[in-house]
Amino acid sequence: MDLYQKVEEAYHFLRNQLKVVPEYAIVAGTGLSSLADEVSHATVIPYNSIPHFPKPTVEGHDGRMVFGILGGKNIVVLKGRFHYYEGYDMDEVTFHIRVLKMLGVAKLIITNASGSLNPNIYPGHIVFIKDHINMQPAHPLRGLNDARLGKRFPPMDRVYDSSMLEKALAIAKSETFEHHKGIYVGLQGPSLETPAEYSFYGRMGGDVVGMSTVPEVIVAAQCELPVLCISLCTNNPFDGEVATSIEEVLEVAEQAGNKIKKVISRFIQEY
Ligand code: HPA
């Protein structure tokens, strides 16, 4: 069975259970899956019931789709995503994006936790991603191209939708959250970076660094799904305090996640 047929099977399974197609899909990153608690009229579909869907293996990444209403619109929250470092191949890491596209989702909101590469970006700050640098070791579009899934050479110059980005920035400003526009460097992980690596990726042009998002965004670009990406900075190697640990990342993500939740629900309501 090829990738297109797998996506189709997952799509049919979901479509049969849904009365309406969601307008927005939100991929909830580390510490943000409680966004799904705010969804009303929820229909919960576990990943392990969906044909061909991978299962997340990481702490803080549940494995469910929550369909329902948020900010007055039909949406789906994906609680949990798939990372290359978990051992999945890139078709698996990005499978949910293709299924969402086939389902008819119109806009994608991607969230993640990230480490700072910019001395002005601190834990708890929100970074609206305007561009990325792909440093992951495999590419989700490698291999024979199936034109039913999208273009062979998708352009990448406008993948972070500028009108969604401007609206989200305006909301963050009106909420007085510390926020930035920035460039996300996507790495494989799962180890965090050495001091020399943080310094290198910062000088290379990045503002934040993380282990997800970029493959999803590349596939979204291929299937022409507009993306808003919101990153929560959880650690800053310049602050001279304790070394970055995954415990610290999860703690900050839990504490500051409310800001992203607020931005997302207002965004969906107002955009
Ligand atoms: N590096 C990579 N990924 C991350 C980090 C980091 O410092 N913080 C949260 N996700």
pLDDT digits (tens, 9 = 90+) for 14-60: 999 999 999 999 999 877 878 888 999 999 999 999 999 997 676 55
For residue 244, the ligand 1 atom closest to its alpha carbon is 7
Element (H, E) at 93: helix 90-93
pLDDT of amino acid 166: 97
pLDDT band at 62 (very low <50, low <70, confident <90, very high): confident
Report d(CA 56, CA 84) in Å as an integer.
11
What are the tokens at 23? 């307008």
Q: With a 6 A CB cut-off, is 228 part of the ligand 1 pocket?
A: no
List C-alpha distances in Å: 158 to 56, 108, 151, 155, 227.
29, 14, 15, 8, 9
Residue whose CB lies within 8 A of the most ligand 1 atoms, among 235, 241, 248, for a mutation test: 235
Q: With a 6 A CB cut-off, is 186 part of the ligand 1 pocket?
A: no
Report cis status (omega within 30 of 0) of the bond before 155: no
pLDDT of amino acid 238: 74
Over residues 186-205, mean pLDDT: 94
pLDDT of amino acid 256: 81
List C-alpha distances in Å: 255 to 2, 18, 41, 171, 233.
42, 33, 26, 20, 11
pLDDT of amino acid 95: 98
Give backbone dihedrals phi and psi of 44, rounded to 5 degrees, phi first: -105, 125
Which residue has the CA at smallest separation from atom 5 of ligand 1? 115
Q: With a 6 A CB cut-off, is 234 part of the ligand 1 pocket?
A: yes
pLDDT of amino acid 94: 98
pLDDT of amino acid 241: 57
- Kindly give the distance from the C-alpha atom of residue 95 to the centroid of ligand 1, in angstroms, as a whole number: 23
Q: Note whether 134 and 218 are within 8 A (CB).
A: yes
State the angle between helix axes of 162-174 and 246-270 in degrees (0 to 180), rounded to the nearest 10.
100
Over residues 73-91, mean pLDDT: 94
Query: How many of the other CB atoms lie within 10 Å of CB of 66?
Result: 23
Reply yes or no on whether the pLDDT at 244 is more than 80.
no
The residue among 256 and 239 whose pLDDT is bigger is: 256
pLDDT band at 132 (very low <50, low <70, confident <90, very high): very high
Residue whose CB lies within 8 A of the most ligand 1 atoms, among 249, 250, 252, for a mutation test: 249
pLDDT of amino acid 77: 96
Element (H, E) at 115: strand 107-116
Report d(CA 243, CA 234) in Å as an integer.
12
* Strand duo 64-70 + 40-46: pairing: antiparallel
- Kindly give the distance from the C-alpha atom of residue 114 to the centroid of ligand 1, in angstroms, as a whole number: 4
Strands (DSSP E) found in the chain: 24-28, 40-46, 64-70, 73-79, 107-116, 126-134, 179-186, 208-210, 227-235
Rg for the chain, CA atoms, rounded: 17
Q: With a 6 A CB cut-off, is 115 part of the ligand 1 pocket?
A: yes
Q: With a 6 A CB cut-off, is 168 part of the ligand 1 pocket?
A: no
pLDDT tens-digit series, residues 196-243: 999 999 999 999 999 999 999 999 999 999 999 999 999 888 766 545
Q: What is the DSSP letter of 84?
A: G
The residue among 22 and 259 whose pLDDT is bigger is: 22
pLDDT of amino acid 179: 93
The residue among 73 and 243 whose pLDDT is bigger is: 73
136 in the Ramachandran plot: left (φ > 0), alpha (ψ -120 to 50) or beta?
beta
The residue among 131 and 251 whose pLDDT is bigger is: 131
Query: Which of 2-11, 147-156, 253-262 shows the lowest mean pLDDT across its residues?
Result: 253-262
pLDDT of amino acid 137: 97
Domain boundaries, the chain: 3-270
Q: With a 6 A CB cut-off, is 249 part of the ligand 1 pocket?
A: yes
The residue among 246 and 4 whose pLDDT is bigger is: 4
- Kindly give the distance from the C-alpha atom of residue 266 to the centroid of ligand 1, in angstroms, as a whole number: 27
In angstroms, how far apart are the furthest CA atoms of the chain?
53
Report d(CA 258, CA 32) in Å as an integer.
8
Q: Quick one: what percent of the chain has pLDDT higher than 70?
A: 96
- Kindly give the distance from the C-alpha atom of residue 39 to the centroid of ligand 1, in angstroms, as a whole number: 28
For domain 3-270, give the CATH number: 3.40.50.1580
pLDDT of amino acid 36: 87
The residue among 23 and 80 whose pLDDT is bigger is: 23
Residue whose CB lies within 8 A of the most ligand 1 atoms, among 188, 197, 231, 234, for a mutation test: 234
pLDDT of amino acid 56: 66
Report d(CA 64, CA 78) in Å as an integer.
6
